[in-house]
């Protein structure tokens, strides 16, 4: 399938796609969807996460008002958008989201602003966490990490949780929830 633009879809088609339970690819090997004119076959480098996966990760996170959440992999803010849902539930000041691609991060910032939300948005490597916003009660990482990032473990609160997609060999992937506990 080739690239699809808003003008191709119309408003109804766009909403249909946004609410469909499909991963919407927004960047391939660094090429943003808006710049693509022909079908691309390289590696997917950014996407709007599958709707049911967004919901599943948020269910596993079991967040409550007052929690502080770090998201790794803000994405573009297209589709069913984790950072926005977190802001809606917890308030802007309790949400930090990191994206390492500056263009993708700028799109997310614009989409969040248009929707009236202003979480702490950071451009950088989320695998280092973001110590200024710590401690976090939850780290959510829909960015297909290869391992659990140690920095994020250090930035968790005592009963904190990490929920991440993990990717492995032969395109295998899984969903992991790690809960920290205090041994006394």
Ligand X SMILES: C[S@@+](CC[C@H](N)C(=O)[O-])C[C@H]1O[C@@H](n2cnc3c(N)ncnc32)[C@H](O)[C@@H]1O
What is the closest distance, in whole angstroms, from the C-beta atom of residue 56 to ligand X in the complex?
Answer: 12
Nearer to ligand X, 36 or 100 (CB): 100
What is the closest distance, in whole angstroms, from the C-beta atom of residue 80 to ligand X in the complex?
Answer: 7
What is the closest distance, in whole angstroms, from the C-beta atom of residue 100 to ligand X in the complex?
Answer: 4
Nearer to ligand X, 54 or 161 (CB): 54
What is the closest distance, in whole angstroms, from the C-beta atom of residue 52 to ligand X in the complex?
Answer: 12
For binding to ligand X (CB under 6 A), which residues are involved?
Answer: 45-49, 54, 72-75, 79, 81-82, 98-101, 104, 125-127, 142-143
Question: Do 48 and 79 contact (CB within 8 A), yes or no?
Answer: yes
Nearer to ligand X, 52 or 159 (CB): 52
Q: Tell me, what DSSP letter sits at residue 135?
A: P
Give Cα 144 to chain centroid, integer Å.
Answer: 10
Structure tokens at 121: 């948005």
Nearer to ligand X, 81 or 136 (CB): 81
Name the residue whose CB lies closest to ligand X.
Answer: 73
Residue 182: which H helix or E strand, with range? none
Nearer to ligand X, 47 or 94 (CB): 47
CA–CA distance, 12 with 106 (Å, rounded to integer): 26
What is the closest distance, in whole angstroms, from the C-beta atom of residue 47 to ligand X in the complex?
Answer: 5
What is the closest distance, in whole angstroms, from the C-beta atom of residue 91 to ligand X in the complex?
Answer: 18
CA–CA distance, 153 with 104 (Å, rounded to integer): 26
Give Cα 152 to chain centroid, integer Å.
Answer: 15
The crossing angle, in degrees rounded to 10, of helices 102-114 and 82-90 is: 40
Nearer to ligand X, 75 or 119 (CB): 75
């Amino acid at each position: 399938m080739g690239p699809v633009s808003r003008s191709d879809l119309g408003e109804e088609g766009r909403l249909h796609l946004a609410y469909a339970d499909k991963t919407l690819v927004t960047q391939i090997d660094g090429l943003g969807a808006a710049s693509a004119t022909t079908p691309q076959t390289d590696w997917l480098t950014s996407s709007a996460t599958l709707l049911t996966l967004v919901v599943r990760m948020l269910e596993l996170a079991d967040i409550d008002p007052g929690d502080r959440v770090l998201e790794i992999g803000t994405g573009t803010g297209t589709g069913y958008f984790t950072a926005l849902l977190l802001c809606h539930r917890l308030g802007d000041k309790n949400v930090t989201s990191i994206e390492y691609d500056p263009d993708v991060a700028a799109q997310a910032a614009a989409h969040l602003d248009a929707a009236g939300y202003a979480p702490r948005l950071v451009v950088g490597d989320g695998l280092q966490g973001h110590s200024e916003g710590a401690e976090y009660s939850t780290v959510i990482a829909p960015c297909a990490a290869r391992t659990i990032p140690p920095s994020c473990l250090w930035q968790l609160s005592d009963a904190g949780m990490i929920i991440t997609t993990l990717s492995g060999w032969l395109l295998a992937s899984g969903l992991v929830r790690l809960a920290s506990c205090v041994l006394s």
